[in-house]
Structure 1
Amino acid sequence: MAQENMATWQWPGTRRCGRKALHLLGTGLLMALAGCAVGPHGQVPKMVSPATYNAHRVDASPGAQKIQWTAQQAQSWWLLFHSQALNSYIHKAMRANPDLQAAQAALARQQSLLVASQGGLYPQVSANAGISRERALRTGADGGQSYRIPGNLYSLFLGTLDIRYNPDVFGRQQDLIHAARARVAVTTANLHQSEVFLAAAVSRAIISAAAARAQWHSARQIAAADAHLLKLLQQEYQLGYQNLQSVEQQAAMTAAARARIAPLEAEQAAARHALAALIGQSPNTSLPLPTLKDLQLPAHLPTTIPSALAENRPDIQAATAEIKVAAAQADVATANLYPQFNISADIGKAAMTGALFFNPVSTLWSLGAGLAAPIYQGGSLHAQRRAALDQYQLVRDQYRATVLDAFRQVADALRNLQSADTAFVQQKRAQQASAKALQLAEARYRDGATDYATVLNAEIAYQQDSIAAINGRSQRYLDSVALFVALGDGWQSDHRDSKALSTSSTTAVEHTVGASA
């Protein structure tokens, strides 16, 4: 079985040994200058940013939103919805959300670990003091037989000041500091990502609740209209003007319409419960929610250009910092292959009486230097270095995947905005057409040209088209939020809510959503 050996040299503390320690330290510095194997440099892989997110142009509808291209991110994009309630809930979530607070605590921990790692560059000083009461044993001889007899009692006063210093000849401690600093950057980016997801989650909860409420209102109107039509058909059946099949079909439609109400109520409650959890409250908290009419669809969408996406998106920033962490860890594994130096010094007092403790003759001191060099460890150190280099390559590949996925998500979000806008335009037209059909049916009914069942059928069609329009409208809101999330917008640089929306300092170029983005 391979044994792990460590060659160690130590010198006692004398003036001559102090010169040897300095000579040894100079030798170590020469070894460092002679060169050693170095690790990776933590360079981010070069990736070509696409000129546009989408490959093909899609014609926009007349009511399309506008994209405002910018090189900066929108730190408070939710202000574009012009909803005081939405702004208030996001503000509360940023201050009370437990997951975000956990991310902030994780950042504080990494910052403390960074300070702790920096302490390794400096000498370590400690003091020791003590007092003890002892009895010495004396050895005697009688006829060739040795024996011990109790000695006198005495007190011993001790006080020392210890100094330890490890010169960072091969940069191991500096590499540990670089790794700690990069971990701070990773945790900071993760905190920003948490802020992005939190703002989006609050927005989705409010939009979903508003959409469910509007759908619930329309579903109740449809159920009431179906019930009214069922009552008329039952009356006509009793008079002999309708058959039983028509009555039963309408009864089934009425039951189905009523069945759609309860799930929408549960959907509103679920969105309210989700919002309560996001702002750090229990689900029984009463939360007034805005309606869809209280939310304004952003007319202009600040959208980061592809070349600036990596600078703003938190997960790409975290992937970049992970490369630096892996590079520093590989450097540490490389430095572990080389000797470690240490310098120590002790000065103190040792006396049997308090008065003698302060006498110069009771002074004791020592000065020493040493090194510990790995000679044979079964190849474990080299294997650890290879593993660190493999980890470095792994995070570089993960960085490339993260960037490509970011471009894909933005492209998908832009395309979804285009399709949602087109769908909403058609749904709105269908709602307007069914509204005109209802007006005509009501006019014909007043003129006696048709029966009331035709009016109710037209009203049901209008309500159904209204629900589709509600879905299309809320989907446009959700797709707008999805675009901001894909861009990585919404994190606060100072961990406080911004007062204004960040926009590009340069003149922005506006394009329709259907433009080649």
Structure 2
Amino acid sequence: MAQENAAARRWPGPRRHRRGIAILLGSGLMIGLAGCAVGPHWSVPKMRTPPSYNARPAALPADEQKVQWTQQQARSWWLLFHSKPLNNYIQQAMQANPDLQAAHAALARQQALMVAAQGGLAPQVSANAGISRARALRTGADGGQSYRIPGNLYSLFLGTIDVSYNPDVFGRQKDLVHAARAQAAVTKANLHQSEVFLAADVSRAVISGAAARAQLHAARQIATADAHLLKLLQQEYKLGDQNLQNVEQQAAMTAAARARIAPLAADLAAARHALAALLGQTPNVALSIPALQSLHLPARLPTTIPSALAENRPDIQAATAEIKVAAAQADVATANLYPQFNISAEIGKAAMTGGLFFNPVSTLWSLGAGLAAPIYNGGSLHAERRAALDQYQVASDQYRSTVLNAFKQVADALRTLQGADTAYIQQKQAQQASARALHLAEARYRDGATDYATVLNAEIAYQQDSVAAIQGRSQRYLDSVALFVALGDGWQPDQPAPKAHSVPSETPMVNTAGAPA
């Protein structure tokens, strides 16, 4: 009889067999329904692409720079300044900047979360093993009263393999994967944006430092010239050929010129400190700031045409990925309204001796399927779905705002570049003219053909024009950087920098002002 019961446990009868087949068929049906995702489908809002950034032509008046329209990114745009120190500093910043390293770590984390989400689509397999030693309790009765006494010692060997699978019938897990993948795309676009801003910050620090260095050099030259003229006036005053008022005016001019040196030296130090922080170093590190003359104004400005801007701007790429994230989360909220299925299976061994553990008699197994469906939750699931759909609309509106702001920034950068170009031409001409006027005034003063007031006025004009010319030159560099940042061009170390090319013949011709020809 015991052998028959053991055989019955090992070989289930027809009824058990039919139940097992029914479970397997039901599981197969749920698996077949997997992938029937529910919820909205995402799409990028349609927006009209302008033919140009500016309404009116804004051609650059100088011949030193030309806008070259392209459909590609001008990667590694800082190379256009032809400054080896600048290139080296940007490469160092890309390797050592802590904020950028944090952005890389955030991307690695998000990619790991994406892999984790993908794991939810696969069956989960786990193994359990254990061994225990215990004494059983026996129950008896004496005079109508029950009692429990210790029984015999025994050992229990247990080992099982568990398999569980959640058929993604309504696409909930796939939507979670889509959300994780889209969030990784957002993080990658933010990393690209960080690279763009870092390259721009390093460029600004170097340019500002070079401008401060040039102004400091000019201030020292002016202070030296003022001191020389003051000494000359003092000698003439002692000889009775000059009045005290002119001497005091020149003394004031000399003191004012010397007073401008210290703030400019502080500006140069601040630029070094800012550069050191961007390089991940402490401010006490001695960094060399290149001369302003060593920086060359980019002869060509590769500028992405409006129709291709969305492909290059990292913030637009991030906004597009945010729409995907919101759509996937809305799909998840919709799938939460539907039942969730589960299939589980277990097979293992349980025995009281090691020899019996490997005997077929000690085999145990189970197979089951489950369903969990929301019935009543106070409307929270429907409210979560409405909130997710509203977030999708928010992401769509933010995308439109990001694109419009991108067009605005490029248009502003082109206009600012034009203004800086025009201003620098006038400032350079003013500096050259004031230098000639000062030279003539000093020569006439030495010959006694003019008074000191004329020399003083010429000197003041030259000082102001020299500072303005240096500032105008550095501003042209800074405005060129601002244009590249507005275009979203950034660091791509794994790809060579493509050469900018002219707009194809099928594209409407665009002049350098950002308006159709």
- TM-score between both structures, scaled by the size of structure 2: 0.91
Match of 1:284 in 2: 284
Moved more, 148-157 or 463-472: 463-472
- Say whether the 8 Å CA contact 2:57–2:511 is kept in structure 1: no
For residues 325 and 410 of structure 1, the distance between their equivalents in structure 2, rounded to whole angstroms, comes to 28
Q: Deviations over 1:33-57 (max 9, x none)?
A: 9x88x42211000011111101122
- Say whether the 8 Å CA contact 2:31–2:167 is kept in structure 1: no
For residues 97 and 366 of structure 2, the distance between their equivalents in structure 1, rounded to whole angstroms, comes to 56
Alignment of 1:473 with 2:470, yes or no, is no
Alignment of 1:304-343 (within 5 A): 304-343=304-343
- Cα distance, 1:337–1:514 mapped onto 2, change above 3 Å: closer
Match of 1:407 in 2: 407
Alignment of 1:503 with 2:505, yes or no, is no
Match of 1:113 in 2: 113
For residues 351 and 31 of structure 2, the distance between their equivalents in structure 1, rounded to whole angstroms, comes to 40
For residues 418 and 152 of structure 2, the distance between their equivalents in structure 1, rounded to whole angstroms, comes to 98
For residues 182 and 515 of structure 1, the distance between their equivalents in structure 2, rounded to whole angstroms, comes to 34
Match of 2:356 in 1: 356
- Cα distance, 1:367–1:514 mapped onto 2, change above 3 Å: closer
- Cα distance, 1:25–1:239 mapped onto 2, change above 3 Å: same
Match of 2:431 in 1: 431
Match of 1:303 in 2: 303
What displacement does 1:251 show?
A: 3.5
Q: 2:21 aligns with which of 19, 30, 36?
A: 19
Match of 1:384 in 2: 384
What displacement does 1:246 show?
A: 4.4
Match of 2:8 in 1: none
- Cα distance, 1:127–1:29 mapped onto 2, change above 3 Å: closer
Match of 2:47 in 1: 47
Match of 1:516 in 2: 515
Match of 2:5 in 1: none
- Say whether the 8 Å CA contact 2:68–2:502 is kept in structure 1: no
Match of 1:6 in 2: none
SS at match of 1:121: coil
For residues 403 and 295 of structure 1, the distance between their equivalents in structure 2, rounded to whole angstroms, comes to 33
For residues 125 and 417 of structure 2, the distance between their equivalents in structure 1, rounded to whole angstroms, comes to 63
Q: Deviations over 1:54-85 (max 9, x none)?
A: 11223542436211000001111111111111
Alignment of 1:33-432 (within 5 A): 38-58=38-58, 60-63=60-63, 65-237=65-237, 244-432=244-432
What displacement does 1:19 show?
A: 3.3
Which residue type is aligned with residue 316 of structure 1? Answer: I
What displacement does 1:237 show?
A: 5.0
Q: Deviations over 1:229-263 (max 9, x none)?
A: 44444455555555555444443333322221111
Relative contact order (C-alpha < 8 Å, sep 6+): which is higher? 1
Q: Deviations over 1:193-226 (max 9, x none)?
A: 1111111111101100000000011112222233
Q: Deviations over 1:489-516 (max 9, x none)?
A: 1231xx44x5544424865999775463
Moved more, 377-386 or 317-326: 377-386
Match of 1:491 in 2: 491
For residues 49 and 228 of structure 1, the distance between their equivalents in structure 2, rounded to whole angstroms, comes to 62
For residues 28 and 355 of structure 1, the distance between their equivalents in structure 2, rounded to whole angstroms, comes to 40
Q: Deviations over 1:154-202 (max 9, x none)?
A: 0000000110111000000000010011011111111111111111111
- Say whether the 8 Å CA contact 1:67–1:510 is kept in structure 2: no
Moved more, 409-418 or 40-49: 40-49
Count of aligned pairs between the two proteins:
500
Which residue type is aligned with residue 461 of structure 1? Answer: A
Match of 1:7 in 2: none
- Cα distance, 1:299–1:78 mapped onto 2, change above 3 Å: same
Which residue type is aligned with residue 387 of structure 1? Answer: A
- TM-score between both structures, scaled by the size of structure 1: 0.91
What displacement does 1:278 show?
A: 1.2
For residues 515 and 387 of structure 1, the distance between their equivalents in structure 2, rounded to whole angstroms, comes to 41
- Cα distance, 1:79–1:483 mapped onto 2, change above 3 Å: same
- Cα distance, 1:502–1:118 mapped onto 2, change above 3 Å: farther
Q: Deviations over 1:403-450 (max 9, x none)?
A: 000000000000000000000010011011112213323443454424
Structure 1, gaps ≥5 residues long = 1-12
- Cα distance, 1:506–1:422 mapped onto 2, change above 3 Å: closer
